[in-house]
Amino acid sequence: MPEHAAATATAATPAGGSARWLVVASRRPAAAGATAWDDAAALARAGQDVVLVVTDDVVVDLLRGAPWRSRVAAAGVRVLVDAAAARRRGVLDRLDVPAAEPPALGALLADPGLRTVWR
């Protein structure tokens, strides 16, 4: 687990339960250093409830073969794709993960019970 994710998970976990996290990946691995998906997987392995929302240019990486997909799947991270971003890039009908429309993503971002990390 990346040290910063482990420290954050430990500090943010309520006694006797797991925290709920929303991790937003908006930059491709070359630009983000794979931080968003590594952090999402690390938080999930630490017992946290994690949703990873993939948006902007990262949606193209959701096509089969993206190297980070197996890490987040093995950790139990739930992955959603920003439907509008996928539609703009012409890949929405080729994805095999659930898509969320902007109103649903807005509701996630506004949920006071979720801690949000945007990378």
For residue 60, the SS3 value is helix
pLDDT of 34? 56
Burial code of 74-99, b = ≥16 C-beta within 10 A, e = fewer?
ebebebbbbbbbbeeeebbeebebeb
Structure tokens at 73: 């799947």
Domain-wise residue ranges, the chain: 18-118
Q: Is the CB of residue 26 less than 8 Å from the CB of residue 119?
A: yes
State the pLDDT confidence band at 7, using cuts at 50, 70 and 90.
Answer: very low
Question: Mean per-residue pLDDT for 87-101?
Answer: 93
- Distances from the Cα of 25 to the Cα of 15, 22, 32, 78, angstroms: 28, 10, 9, 13
Phi and psi based region of residue 76 (left: phi greater than 0; alpha: psi -120 to 50; beta: remaining): left
pLDDT for 37: 87
Report whether CATH 3.50.50.60 matches the domain 18-118: no
What six digits make up the tokens of 74? 């093995």
Q: What is the pLDDT of residue 63?
A: 79
Average pLDDT over residues 103-107: 94
pLDDT tens column, 67-88: 788 889 999 999 999 999 999 9
More confident residue, 95 or 9: 95
Give the model confidence (pLDDT) of 16-71 as tens digits. Answer: 467 899 999 998 766 555 578 889 999 999 999 999 999 998 888 887 667 788 88
Provide the pLDDT for residue 110: 93
Could you identify the residue written with the tokens 């019970």?
Answer: 113
